[in-house]
A and B are shown apart, each in its own frame.
Chain A
Amino acid sequence: MKPDSRGYFGKFGGRFVPEVLIAALDELDSAVNEAFDDPTFWDEYHAVLRDFVGRPSPMYRCERYVADLSPVPLLMKREDTNHTGAHKINNTVGQALLARRMGKRRLLAETGAGQHGVATATVGAKFGLPVDVYMGARDIERQALNVYVMRLLGADVHCVESGTQTLKDATNEAFRVWAARAGDTFYVIGSVVGAHPYPYMVRELQKVIGVEARRQTLARYGRLPSDVVACVGGGSNAIGIFSGFVDDPQVKLWGVEAGGEGLESEHHAASLGAGSIGVLHGSRSYLLQSAQGQVRETHSVSAGLDYPGVGPEHAFFKESGRATYPSVTDAEAIEAFKGFARSEGIVPALESAHAIAFARKLAAERSKDDLILVNLSGRGDKDIGRC
């Protein structure tokens, strides 16, 4: 489904930004529509994904992780095998190609876990575009490895000290910088969030995950999955894989949010599960906020899920019932992180470990005729030493 002309999925989305950014969003909207209609754009995008990113990413059948619970086949879509180690690179390749078409000379990005910052720094190096990355002071501390990599790739990493010093504030800062520099700078947003056309554009660039996964599942098993599971921070890896199955009503879609210390604790990042409708970073969606409309501090063991908002299309899926949004606690995610590594020989990102933990719960209710497909959104190198 394409959002309407004002960028709405149902009642979610839109453009809630200062007037100074409207012209830049209009310019981007035209460029996106034109590029997405142009086969040469997609040819180039797919060529870079093939030769540089390493797509198609494999589909892997887990042998041991849920075998004690159920005979259900458990499949992993291996975004962790991508260059730079996560799904984020699919999006930044596409946005860098758009930036080049638009004649923009610099890239600007925000990052929480650092994966999106690394992915943007990578395409900046590849395409010869200077990159500025904004990152909260707390995230800089907890994701030191990725900060090192971004700098090695030539990006300028700017430390954001305001507010909660995490992704939310890094995003505020990126918007402010973009307001001053939109003439020559392309803002590479890291998830399906932000003002229209960002949620739509990023979805179209992550859809490749779902398209491949659908084809691979059918080719190998001759049937569609019963369940598709992905973690939800801003929601881009989840939208990416969901997009391959959204028109197959028999496939259940599960977006797993960060339950932190539990939804009753207030130390979590479950915007859909425990938030309410509001406006943040340019769109109307679900949000963790106070009764007075102040955006709340969030908590998750994984920096990539530690965000108080969520993409508007997920809010739409929640309300329409097309997808369901459970949450998994820090403790459950850490257990999955370790258990999965030991039983499968793959160290998942802590973000992905949330999806894996939920898939294990789901497995107990499924039989050998079902098929659970999980988006393994990234690898866990960046999380070493954190649990």
Chain B
Amino acid sequence: MLTAVFERARSQRRLAFIPYLMAGDPDLATTSQLIGALSAQGADLIELGVPYSDPLADGPTIAAAAQRALGNRVGLSDVLALAKQCSGNSAPIVLFTYYNPVYQFGVQRFAAALADAGVAGAIVPDLALEESAELRAALAEQGREMPLLVAPSTPPERARRIAEAAGGFVYVVSRLGVTGAGKTPDFAPLRAQITALRERTSKPLAVGFGVSRTEDVRSVADADGVIVGSALIDRYAGLSGTQAVERVVDLAAALIAATRR
């Protein structure tokens, strides 16, 4: 399901472009408009963040976006409803959520709800390989996929096992640390990581965390996809509706142009 996204991008000689949005920031209606606009612009896959009170893998931009969304009382059920409503757009959706909201919702029920909403899968950054088996199995049963993350600190043999278990694609974390657009990653070790992963897996590799400029996208041209979150959110923070959409579409167009090889 997710692999097809990367195949299509590859056949068009470009990286898949995967924007990240926090559902409910600034409000659900704007998120819905943003999803529509980004799809129309050519986004290949949309990562939709589920607001969480304690996002350990996120830096200030996404943590603040989550706080704003929580201020609007947006929770997992709202995000699922939003995803369902947007499922007619061309770009498929994966949820980006921490584990506790999923655990409270119920792992089986969550997998079924993803299928019902037409969501392709879920990324759960605080479920490392060892803790991920139950959710992976539940998602697989519903034909949903769970990409897993590989970090710069992941040893090679472990990276191989993660890639083997990952559903759809391998999420290659570009740097040590959390999400955020502030500091440009050092792309040399990242490219070495991509080369090493290529020898261990045939699954697509999507790079995320800290990718924010067109130069960054060009720097990881040997990957199969790029995930851009904080840079988009910084761009529309404080705006809503059409104003937010205009700002994001501009940046997305530039980033998409940079994905061509």
Contacts and interface: CB of A to CB of B under 8 A. Distances in A.
Interface of A: 6, 14-24, 162-163, 168-169, 172, 175-176, 179-183, 278-282, 287, 289, 291-295
Contact of A23 (B57, B130, B148, B153): B153
27 contacts: A17-B126, A17-B128, A19-B125, A19-B128, A19-B151, A19-B173, A20-B57, A20-B152, A20-B173, A162-B67, A163-B67, A176-B58, A176-B178, A179-B57, A179-B176, A180-B176, A180-B177, A278-B100, A278-B103, A279-B99, A280-B54, A280-B100, A292-B75, A292-B101, A292-B104, A293-B76, A293-B105
Interface centre among B56, B58, B100, B162 (most CB of A within 10 A): B56
Contacts of A179: 56-57, 176-178
Given A14-B131, A23-B154, A294 B56 contact: no
A6 B104 CA distance: 22
Interface of B: 52-60, 63-64, 67, 70, 75-77, 99-105, 125-131, 148-155, 158, 162, 173, 175-178
The 4 closest A-B pairs by CB, nearest first: A293-B104, A180-B177, A293-B101, A20-B151
Contacts of A18: 56-57, 125-126, 128, 149, 151, 178
A272 to B, nearest CB: 17
Contacts of B131: 14-16
A294 B101 contact: yes
A19 B130 CA distance: 10
Given A18-B151, A162-B67, A279-B126, A295 B100 contact: yes
Secondary structure at chain A's binding surface: helix, strand, loop or mixed?
A: mixed
Nearest to A279: B100
B177 A19 contact: no
A15 B130 CA distance: 8
Contacts of A168: 54
A20 B53 contact: no
Nearest to B52: A294
A294 B178 CA distance: 20
Contacts of A278: 100, 103-104
Contacts of B149: 18-20
A166 to B, nearest CB: 12
A15 B128 contact: yes
A17 B99 CA distance: 10
Nearest to A18: B57
Given A19-B151, A172-B54, 12 more contacts: A15-B131, A18-B151, A19-B162, A20-B149, A20-B177, A21-B153, A23-B155, A176-B59, A182-B153, A292-B75, A293-B76, A293-B100
